[in-house]
Structure 1
Amino acid sequence: SADVVFTLKMIHDHPAVDYSGLWNVITSVSAPDNHTVIVKLKQPSVPILWYLGGQTYILPQHLWSSVSNPVTYTNPDPVGTGPYVLKSFTPQLYVFDRNPHFWQPGKPYINEIRYPSFNSNTSADLLLSQGSVDWTGLFTPDVNKTFANRDPAHNHYWFPPNNVVTLYPNTAKYPFNVLAVRQAISVAIDRNKLYRIGENGYEPPSHPTALVLPANQGTLSPDYANASFTMNTARAASLLERAGFKKGSDGIYVDRNGKRLAFNLNVVSGWTDWVTDCQIMASNLQAAGMDVKVNAISYNSYYSALQMGSFDTAISWTTTGPTPYYLYNSMLGTTNTAPIGQQATSNWERWSDPATDRFLQQYASSLGSTEQQQALSGIQKIMVEQLPTIPLIYGATWYEYSTARFVGWPDQQHPYAVPAPYAAPDEEIVVLNLHQV
């Protein structure tokens, strides 16, 4: 219990690592004995159990008490309770060995896990097709031809939807703080082309509320039961012109001050499906009178730009949880954002809206399902009408695996964990179920 108290107090003292906003609702934490922790709250908070129990990793006080700044500490000699320990690390490969002191006797069953690094989907696809990879989370064009059909008895995949891929407009800067611009961007995008070409038919267009359907059908407001996105370049032009933009001689709109509607669209280089998606969107937006440059950069540069707000627009994922509240709170809650130049934990578009925050607070403090649904419906209205972010397509859980050497994988009949190797903490659940053939 002392480690729990230490961890929570450390998070309090360093708000930059309070990724779940715990101390927005916690008032104190104490440990009356070695096995009990008392957390007191400012008000009722339905989500706190998920954030504490599922999203907060406990640190050993005897090792971390000497760390002066956990925000910048690189933890060169990590100590944990997991089933594997780091054996070696290079930029090309890192290797984990079985932890002989793991707290579950007899587990894990696999002695070593090797994580090779690839500079693009294409290079990883090659090894996958050659049978050199046992488990990956990879966008693979024509996965049946390049992987599954090469060894139907052993090569398998499953791409269940688990989030919404979204275009994040930086609403803390002009012109993305103008609703008409966000609306014009959205209506100009051909989401069916993203689905068919960019994502090879794996990820269909998303719902305007950003809900993952049909999984969250029960929380969908009746007002949006039949809502969908439709590309309409003419409407995009109309929206911009009503907002005072005029088309220049080069076909690009300019505002009342003569500033061209030109901006960058960030994406990670090597993420071939998203790069293609961005190229499609840039073409769509060009046709609608917006000059968009696809900015393919390293992951570190891309993620840092999201956090610090040093971007115009970016394609990215969304965070999920037990109910849509967790998506909306992560993506839209003011407590999860920051001014440009300061680190935002998840609200990268920097949406800060009192009405949105009131609905989030209503859900978090309500024990009744009626009040919670009212709050979710209110946020859905904001998503549809104000477009704080611009939903694009359903984000698949990329998951390919081979049973040639190991068995025990999750599949559609046994969905015991999120199956992708990048899904924490589920990847630990998966490796603990694997056995060598």
Structure 2
Amino acid sequence: MRRLLSVLLVLMLVTGALAGCGQKSQEAADKTQQSETAQQPAQETTYQRNETLYAGGGLWAPPSNWNPLTPWNAVTGTVGLIYETLFNYDPLKNEFIPWLAEKGEWTSDNTYQVTLRDGLTWSDGQPLTSEDVKFTFEIAKEHPEIYYSPMWQWLQSVDTPDNKTVVFKFSTSHYHEWQYNLYQIPIIPKHIWQNKSKDDLLNGANEKAIGSGPYLFDTYSNDRMVYKRNDNWWGIKALGLTPQPKRIVYLIVPSNNVALGMLMKGELDVSNFFLPGIPTLKANYGITTFYDNPPYMIPDNTVFMFINVTKEPLSNVELRRAMAYAINPKVIAEKVYENQVEPSNPLGFVPAKSWEEYYDKNVVSQYGFSYDPNKAKAILDAAGFKLGNDGVRTTPDGKKFKLEISVPYGWTDWMEAAKIVADQLKAVGIDAEAKFPDYSKYWEDLTKGTFDLSFNNFGSQVTSTPWTLYNWLFNPITGDAQYNGNFGRFDVEGLQDMVAALNEAKPGTDEAKKAASKLEEVFLKNIPAIPLWYNGLWFQASNAAWENWPTEHDPYAYPVTWGGRWQTGGTMMMMKIKPKASQ
């Protein structure tokens, strides 16, 4: 079910750290998916500071949706704080954390059994049982419009032999996809959702949501969402974890500059924005980042430059290969990001434990590339791209061409990076120019395939398996628009079979590694996109009101508060931080 994973991957990144320039991607997404205004059910309240955490970086429009069946619309925290998944996942340690599930295991090649914890409850006091899990999955079979319904193309049945046991049987075991789903699909209460109309299921706002999580829907206004601690949360007893903030106030912060000022004054406790001047913030304001030294930030996703292989002369693989050698992402890391990011490896693999075992060094050594402008020139010469007296190359048949590099206007870091890439391409004789359409035009050109070159990272974030990366990079071409990756419309014979082979091989096995190697070879031989740099998990924390933030010295959680990502670390961070003792 390629659509489910693609939607979720887009959700995770579009609601998170796409462009470091202030999350304009979130703003663009929310403006098309949420209403511009929201009711104000309660007056803004002043909360006791040592009981309240203020966060920003993942909310860009007035809160208006808390529906876990439409997570791309839902306010950040809906999944993770209110609704929970069977497992949480720690990208730092590559560990699945039993959550609603006490354990899960493959009992045969096509059967996966989940055992739920004792004492699970919904926030209205009703028990959470295996019937709720069964209902969550089967409602997508009944309503194919639900985003994870394609799972039923390979999921045969869900059985509940008792209140704690759920047995999933598959016609074809998509091991990697299922592994990812275990910490992505939020479990919903059957007793509340079974009587909802189709319109409520698919379009309802679900205000005052009832979930099983450590926080409750409290209130909201035009510039904030307020969560209140669930003091009856099942996890206090079962997990031995207690949420520390009594309230989480998630703020709409209109710009990076505003976020910077609030962080310096201690008005914002945790920020998931890209902010400049990190050494100064650390030295003069005691701001915590994950790493003490550059890059300061955890590499979270990879920015790729997609190449429209349907256009001439970009259909020429030698031109694409030459461009890969001509680009030096180190300059971008230094000049644009003040070394808060690092240049990507040739595959675009985020340096995470879950992906490292699949990184085939032999394939990279044989087919990979690195910055070498002289080699780029030699490739172009050999391929017949002749250099004119004006320093600009023509196609092998003598035609002039100019390439446009498209990034959204207002994403200032990407805009500067695109200018650098254009200059580097010009240095080897390729006429290129950075272009900055507004977001809607950028997205239209990207999805309809009318662009030349375009930056994107909507499906490259670290997950439990690199299959998600190839599911995005090689997403099948199904129609006029490519919304879920493979924006350059690359294809070779047998490509989808190769992606499926990785999905259907048990993770960590030699079979899975060989399947990944084949995909890596296809990518490096054809270069449908060029990986540039690792976008950071932008994380800065004030120690004015809260302390004991996760760092490299105590990496107890992945410090993320973006939508769709709380269950990969943000929720755990709320359990471990401590109010400042001196308050």
Question: TM range, normalised to the smaller chain?
Answer: 0.7 to 0.9
Quote the residue 1:116 is aligned against. Answer: 251
Gaps of 5+ in 2: 1-129, 292-296
Aligned partners of 1:253 and 1:261 also within 8 Å: no
Matches within 5 A, 1:217-366: 217-224=356-363, 226=365, 229-233=369-373, 235-236=375-376, 239=379, 260-267=401-408, 269-270=410-411, 272-287=412-427, 288-295=429-436, 297-298=438-439, 311-317=451-457, 318-334=460-476, 338-341=478-481, 343-344=483-484, 346-366=485-505
Q: Which amino acid aligns with 1:205?
A: P
Deviation at 1:100, TM superposition (A): 5.0
Q: Report which stretch shifted further, 97-106 or 194-203.
A: 97-106
Superposed CA deviations along residues 410-434 of structure 1, whole A, max 9, x for unmatched, are 1112222211322332212212323
Aligned partners of 2:309 and 2:489 also within 8 Å: yes
Quote the residue 1:430 is aligned against. Answer: 573
Quote the residue 2:114 is aligned against. Answer: none
Would the alpha carbon gap of residues 104 and 357 (structure 1) be closer, same or farther in structure 2, given more than 3 Å must change?
Answer: same
Aligned partners of 1:135 and 1:402 also within 8 Å: yes
Quote the residue 1:387 is aligned against. Answer: 527
Deviation at 1:131, TM superposition (A): 3.4
- Cα distance in 2, alignment partners of residues 84 and 314 from structure 1: 41
Quote the residue 1:8 is aligned against. Answer: 137
Superposed CA deviations along residues 243-286 of structure 1, whole A, max 9, x for unmatched, are 6666789766565595733334124624x333321221132234
Percent identity (aligned): 23
Q: Report which stretch shifted further, 315-324 or 350-359.
A: 350-359
TM-score normalised per structure 1: 0.82
Quote the residue 1:189 is aligned against. Answer: 327
Quote the residue 2:263 is aligned against. Answer: 128
Q: Report which stretch shifted further, 107-116 or 246-255.
A: 246-255
Deviation at 1:342, TM superposition (A): 5.5
Quote the residue 2:81 is aligned against. Answer: none
- Cα distance in 2, alignment partners of residues 74 and 291 from structure 1: 46
Q: Report which stretch shifted further, 347-356 or 312-321.
A: 347-356
- Cα distance in 2, alignment partners of residues 391 and 70 from structure 1: 41
- Cα distance in 2, alignment partners of residues 364 and 394 from structure 1: 24
Quote the residue 1:96 is aligned against. Answer: 227
For 1:17, what is the secondary structure of its paired residue?
coil
> In structure 1, which of residues 200, 219, 238 is the aligned counterpart of residue 338 of structure 2?
200
TM-score normalised per structure 2: 0.64
Within the alignment, does 1:63 sit opposite 2:193 as a pair?
yes
Total equivalences in the alignment: 428
For 2:513, what is the secondary structure of its paired residue?
helix
Superposed CA deviations along residues 174-195 of structure 1, whole A, max 9, x for unmatched, are 6554423432332232212112
Aligned partners of 2:404 and 2:451 also within 8 Å: no
For 1:276, what is the secondary structure of its paired residue?
helix
For 1:113, what is the secondary structure of its paired residue?
strand
Deviation at 1:135, TM superposition (A): 0.7
- Cα distance in 2, alignment partners of residues 231 and 257 from structure 1: 27
Aligned partners of 1:310 and 1:341 also within 8 Å: no
- Cα distance in 2, alignment partners of residues 214 and 342 from structure 1: 28
> In structure 1, which of residues 122, 141, 156 is the aligned counterpart of residue 276 of structure 2?
141
Answer 1 or 2: higher relative contact order, Cα 8 Å, separation at least 6: 2
Q: CA RMSD in A?
A: 3.6
- Cα distance in 2, alignment partners of residues 178 and 4 from structure 1: 50
Within the alignment, does 1:403 sit opposite 2:403 as a pair?
no
Would the alpha carbon gap of residues 102 and 419 (structure 1) be closer, same or farther in structure 2, given more than 3 Å must change?
Answer: same
> In structure 2, which of residues 289, 295, 299 is the aligned counterpart of residue 161 of structure 1?
299
- Cα distance in 2, alignment partners of residues 29 and 389 from structure 1: 39
